[in-house]
A = this chain, B = another copy of it.
Amino acid sequence: MGDGGRGPLDDILGLRIRLAHGAVQRHFAEHCAHLGLTQKQVSVLWLAHDAPGIAQTDLARTLQMDRATTMAIVHALEKRGLLERERAGADARRIGFHLTQDGEQLLRAAKAAIDGHEAWLRAHFTAREVQTLARLLERIYG
């Protein structure tokens, strides 16, 4: 039998990634439930903070999401008054996003919560292993 009790299925690397992802998602949902934000939503807020005026297309590409998916997330954040849009200068058809004050405040709270979440995740590894894991994972999506 395999090392995880799943038999030959344990040899499927894709399954391991899926299980790890599920575990991280579950922990995030528990640990960060008070924010009322999903992982994706936090990512979008974070990016909009770091790069004010970013467009939907940039968000989608950076987070490797579909445009339609990105729209759904952005709409939800706008509806909650965390994100605003502005027709920005040079390119008239481009609409940039930036955080509202509420958005900035919630993002700060989110970063604090994620610090704890990431600490839990990293606690499974040594600092060197974290580097290795990050490097290997990047090869898949990078």
Contact B136 A50 (CB under 8 A): no
Give the number of times this chain occurs in the complex, counting copies.
2
Binds B, one of A11-19, A82-90, A98-106: A11-19
Task: Tell me which of B7, B9, B122, B140 contacts A13 (CB under 8 A).
Answer: B122
On chain B, the residues within 8 Å of A142 by CB distance are 4
- Are B15 and A17 in contact, with the CB atoms below 8 A? no
| Chain A interface, >50% SS class | helix
A39 contacts across to B, CB distance below 8 A: 14-15, 18
A-side interface size class: 35 or more
Contacts of A121 in B (CB 8 A): 13-14, 140
Partner of A18, one of B21, B114, B125, B138: B21
Cross-chain contact B6 with A47 (CB below 8 angstroms): yes
Q: Select which of B19, B134, B139 is within 8 A of A124 by beta carbon.
A: B139
